[in-house]
Structure 1
């Protein structure tokens, strides 16, 4: 990896949290499938394009983009997490026109790479210095190159983030609140602040569209609650307080009851609100 500026994020995503994404890759891909579709719909990729996926995780968006741009295109999947990037590389082995790079988006040397587009599904909310990171990504794009990034809208408008954490905290205790707009899942939830960061990076035509999607879990509410406890928003509370098996079981049951309102046949479909940011390199 080139120089790392976000060492805390590198350690976090290269540890148990990153490994959890690898372990539960299929479930996470299904959960975020509509988010992936929303990014690709607005990115407007076409055959032969050169595209980079920022914060590619285990590679779901990269694999989909590779299928669109085809062998005549060129792709780069970049992430700061070694375990997640290794899995992305494995998934991309049948698309040799799409390479991978272990990289900190704030520090990687991407000057003159000449990509047509940069895309991301929840990979750009963790930057310690957003203007520097977005300016560095812009160096990888040709003049007129476009960016399309999906992030979460505020917790209060996202039941997936709001309710399981609330239920877990009610039993175990509150989680210390971070500073507003600090790196994390809600790092670009504030639209006005985020637009200022993108403009400070020198980008043009910066805009944000609120997009409603659903997060599907192909399981009963009880099974869905088990997943949320392992890798979802309640997991941090359970880990912080080292919940006993009895507490974890009670929280799971309370979350399952809450998820019943979203049951749709044999699945749970949780409504979610995204911020879909777009911008252009001058």
Structure 2
């Protein structure tokens, strides 16, 4: 995956994405129960919304390591946290980074754990960042049947590009940790205890109308690459127009008087080391 391209597109749409994720972020922080003075690792920190919120909870006596594989995300966190000295942005790959000297009280992650090529290697390594008794709290998406945020563009793609093969939800990507049994077993096998998972239903309420959400998703998703690969020669433009039309109609089904409320289901995983 081209994490640089992903990061730049995400940062360009930071405000609506963070608004959409805000209730999930708040629920994650509630479950993580961070305390003043604690040392925290925010894994896959993105543009920094969770790290900034965690820093408020641990206070200047604590610290937050904002960790991401994408240089652009790390640079964005540095920019946003220039007046928050107890946030430390760090670039690295969680599968190989040497965490043994970190010794955090808690690891947290907002949709940052589903992209590892080898999750077993990654979580075994992430566990090295925790003190004895340290805890991990992260959230992932449930399956696409529960998340129109993803199924709407998925249907639009399938309708416009019938030759495109169906994606494998078990491969690295947003849906990779939708199988609760698989993830809880993974955590147990990589040295975690007190493993638990809970699915909850919520809504995503980004900024803007259905067409705005479509434009954002087209910018941050792999749509143009799919069109260039699977559209018939000379039909690329019409395929993109069809995808955009389908997405706008799909998201429009969730429009209310004030905003668009897209139903969502997420899974919170917790464990101790």
User: Residue 265 of structure 1 is aligned with which of 251, 257, 260?
Assistant: 257
Q: Secondary structure at the match of 2:219?
A: helix
User: Residue 90 of structure 1 is aligned with which of 62, 65, 79?
Assistant: 79
User: Residue 176 of structure 1 is aligned with which of 160, 165, 169?
Assistant: 165
The alignment status of 1:226 with 2:215, answered yes or no, reads yes
Distance in 1 (alpha carbons) for counterparts of 2:236 and 2:168? 29
The alignment status of 1:13 with 2:17, answered yes or no, reads no
Kept in 1: contact 2:146–2:263 (CA 8 A): no
User: Residue 277 of structure 1 is aligned with which of 238, 263, 269?
Assistant: 269
Return closer, same or farther for 1:220/1:230 CA change in 2, 3 Å cut-off. Answer: same
- Displacement, 1:175? 3.8
Q: Secondary structure at the match of 1:262?
A: coil
Kept in 2: contact 1:220–1:268 (CA 8 A): yes
Give the structure-1-normalised TM-score: 0.89
Distance in 2 (alpha carbons) for counterparts of 1:278 and 1:89? 28
Kept in 2: contact 1:82–1:102 (CA 8 A): yes
User: 1:189 maps to which residue?
Assistant: 178
User: 2:196 maps to which residue?
Assistant: 207
Q: Calculate the aligned-residue CA RMSD, in Å.
A: 1.9
- Structure 1, 226-235 or 77-86: larger mean CA deviation: 226-235
1:124-139 mapped onto 2 (5 Å cutoff): 124-139=113-128
1:70-149 mapped onto 2 (5 Å cutoff): 70-149=59-138
Kept in 2: contact 1:55–1:79 (CA 8 A): yes
Distance in 1 (alpha carbons) for counterparts of 2:16 and 2:51? 17
- Displacement, 1:200? 0.8
Return closer, same or farther for 1:165/1:200 CA change in 2, 3 Å cut-off. Answer: same
The alignment status of 1:38 with 2:27, answered yes or no, reads yes
Kept in 2: contact 1:52–1:115 (CA 8 A): yes
Kept in 1: contact 2:228–2:236 (CA 8 A): no
Structure 2 residue ranges without an equivalent (≥5): none
Number of corresponding residues: 270
Return closer, same or farther for 1:240/1:161 CA change in 2, 3 Å cut-off. Answer: farther
- Displacement, 1:67? 1.2
Deviations 1:204-245, CA, capped at 9 Å, x for gaps: 011110021211122122222222222257566446446734
Q: Secondary structure at the match of 2:205?
A: strand
Give the structure-2-normalised TM-score: 0.92
- Displacement, 1:172? 2.3
